[in-house]
Amino acid sequence: MPPEYAAEEGGDREESKVKAQFGRPGPRMSPQHPLYMGFMGTVGVGLALLVYWIGSNTTQLLLWIVAALFIALGLEPVVGWLENRKVPRPVGILLAVAVLAGAVVGFFATLIPTIVGQVTQIVEQAPVWVRDFINSDFFVNLDDQFGVRDRIQDELDKFVNDPAAVSGIFGGVVGFGSTVANGLFGALIVLVLSLYFLAALPAMKKWGYRLAPRSRRNRVEALAEEITKSVGNYVIGQVCVALLNATYAFIVMSILHIPFALLLAFVVALLAFIPLVGGLIAAVVVLLISLTVGWQTAVIYAICYFAYLQFEAYFISPRIMQKAVAVPGAVAVISVIAGGSLLGVLGALIAIPTAAAVLLLVREIYIVRQDQH
C-alpha cells in the first residue's frame, strides 16, 4: 500500500477512535433560535453602548481629528501644486504647514499683547472712572435719595468677607487660564495631526480604496478623488475670500482710525471662514468697536463693508469658487445651520463641503441607478 493511502487510513482510524470516545458533534444552533438571537442582540447592544461611551469621552479628540483632516484636505492642492513645480512632497508639506503655523502664531502674537495692554489700561483707569462717577451730580443726587453709597459699602464688605465669593473669582481666573492653555494645546495638536495627515494622505487613500470590492474599486476611487478635490478647492477658495475680506476691512478701519484694526482684521478673517453668516458677524463685531469712536464712523464703516459684501457675493466668490463645490442656496443654509448646531464653528465650516459630497454621491450613484430602471 502506498504511504499516502496508509497515512490517510491511519487518520480515518484515529478520527473514528475520537468519535467513539467523545461522541459525534451535536448540531449547530440555528441563527433563528431565540437563545442565539437574544445573545447576539445583547452583544450588539453592548458594542453600541461601548462605541457611544468611547465617542462621548473622546469628543474633543474627534473634533481635533476632523479639523486636522479638513486642514490637510485644504492644504493638499497646495502641496500638489508645489509637486508639479518639481518641489519634493516633504518640502511642500513643510512649507504649507509652516505658512499655516505662521498664521496661527501671528494671530496669537497680535491677540495676547492687545489683551494684556487693554487689561492693564482698564486696571489703571478704573479708579479714576470710579472716582469721577462717585463725584458726579447724578450719583450725588441718587445717594441723597436712596443711600446708595452705604448700600454699596455694605455689599463690598460682605463680598470681601465671603470666602466663597473670593474663591469664585480665583476659580474664574484659573478657569480662563486653563481654557487658554487648552486652546493653545488643541491648536498644536491640530497642526501636528495636519502634518501627519498630509504626509500619509496618498497612502491613506490607497488603503481606503482597497476596502471596496475589486469590481467597484475604480468607481470608488474616482468618486473619492472628486470629493477630496472639491473639499480642497473649497478650503483654498475660502482662504482667498477670507484674506480679501480681512484686507479690505483692515484698510477701511485704518482710514477711519478704528482702534485695534490689526486684531479686528484677524477676527474678520477667522469669521469669514464661516459660510453665509460669517461676514455679518464680523461686521457687527467691528461696528460695536467703531461706536467707541463715534456713530458717524460706524455708519461709514457699515456702508463701505456691506457694499463690499455685495461685491464679494456677486463677483469675487463665484470666480474663486468656480472650481470648488456647487451647492444650492437652500441646501447651503440648511447644512450650515445643522453643522453649527451639531459641532459649533467647526460644523459650520465643514457643512458645505459635506453637503457637496453627499450631493455628488446621490447624483453619481443613486440617480444613475434609478435611471437604469
Residue 221 lies in a domain: no
Q: 365: Cβ–Cβ under 8 A, 6 or more apart, which residues?
A: 223
Find the domain containing 106 and state its range. 58-211
- How far is 169 from 289, CA to CA, in rounded Å? 27
Q: What is the pLDDT of residues 292-335, one digit of tens each?
A: 788 888 889 889 988 988 888 777 776 766 556 666 666 777 77
- Which range has the top average pLDDT, 118-132, 168-182, 282-296? 282-296
Distances 17 to 9, 27, 109, 165, 188 between C-alpha atoms, Å: 13, 20, 82, 84, 67
Q: Would 247 be classed as within a structural domain?
A: no
- Residue 30 maps to a domain: no
Per-residue pLDDT at 325: 61
pLDDT at 7: 44
Virtual CA dihedral for 322, 326, 328, 329, nearest 10 degrees?
-50
More confident residue, 251 or 205: 251
Predicted pLDDT of residue 187? 76
Q: Is residue 87 included in any domain, yes or no?
A: yes
| 10 domain-assigned | no
Mean pLDDT of the chain: 75
Question: What is the tally of structural domains in the chain?
Answer: 1
- Asked, for residue 230, whether it belongs to a domain, the answer is no
Q: Is residue 140 part of a domain?
A: yes
Between 258 and 164, where is the model more confident? 258
For residue 326, the model assigns a pLDDT of 63
- 189 inside domain: yes
pLDDT above 80 (res 43): yes
Task: Look at 323 and 181; give whichever has higher pLDDT.
Answer: 181
